Structure 1
Amino acid sequence: MNSATFRSVLLITGVCELGACSQAETSLAIEAEFLRQSEELTARFQSELQMELSSALSEVGPAGAIGVCQSAAPAIGARLSEDSGFTVSRVARRNRNAVNAISPDLEALYSELESSPMQDGSPRPVHGTVGERLVYLRAIPMQEQPCSTCHGSNIDPALSEAISQSYPEDLAVGFEPGELRGAFLVERQKQR
Structure 2
Amino acid sequence: MTFSKNRTVALVFLSLLGLILVSGCFTMDVHAAAHEDGTVSDYRIEFTTSSFAYNLIKENAKENGYANVREYIEAEAGNTSISYNETWDDDSVTLTIQCSDPLLPDAPKWVVTKEDGYLVYKDMRFLDEDEEIDASDKLTGAMLSSCTLHYSLEMPGEIVESNANTFNGKSAEWHLTGSDIFEVPIYAKSEVPTPSIPGFGAPLALLACAFIALRRNN
Q: TM-score, normalised by structure 1?
A: 0.26
More helix by share: 1
Q: TM-score, normalised by structure 2?
A: 0.24
Mark the structure with the bigger radius of gyration. 2
